[in-house]
Structure 1
Amino acid sequence: MSRKTTHVTPHKDGWQVKSGGSDRAYRVTKTKAEAEAIGRSFSQGRESEFIIHGRDGKIQRADSHGGDPFPPRDKK
């Protein structure tokens, strides 16, 4: 089973939110902050990994909203 991912990446018109493996953007925004807010909500609804890329395409941050392949083991 492959994990579901949601990505925020650069787009010619600003920033885009995409599902991993998709060719089309879910949403395109002017600002990265707006794309992150939309992407986080979308990722939480899909229970997917949320990956934020920089202008150069490299991963800057990642959050898990379910489906974490290495969940925390501590039970505090």
Structure 2
Amino acid sequence: MANKDIHVVPAGDQGWAVEAVGGGKRTVFASQEEAIEAGTERAKEDKVELLIHGRDGQIRKRNSFGHDPRNIKG
């Protein structure tokens, strides 16, 4: 799943899911903490961005673990 951002999203009554943009492997966890931990590891391995969504579906946090297209000094 190279170059596909990883999202931690609500999975209804099942808990929280970790999934890549455009489909592929989706893994469900009982808690958001577990999903964030697994999503972080997956994003680090794939060198992509991790986007963490709240219960309302809005992105509440993002972390980049690889290619950052912006050229920012400092």
Q: Distance in 2 between matches of 1:62 and 1:71?
A: 18
Give unpaired runs (5+ residues) of structure 1.
Answer: none
1:7-18 alignment to 2 at 5 Å?
Answer: 7-12=7-12, 13-18=14-19
Percent of aligned positions with the same letter in both sequences? 34
Matches within 5 A, 1:16-55: 16-22=17-23, 25=26, 27-55=27-55
Runs of at least 4 residues off by over 2 Å: none
The structure number with the bigger radius of gyration is 1
Q: TM-score, normalised by structure 2?
A: 0.87
Offset at residue 67 of structure 1 (A): 1.3
Q: Which has the higher helix share?
A: 2
Query: Which runs of 5 or more residues in structure 2 are unaligned?
Result: none
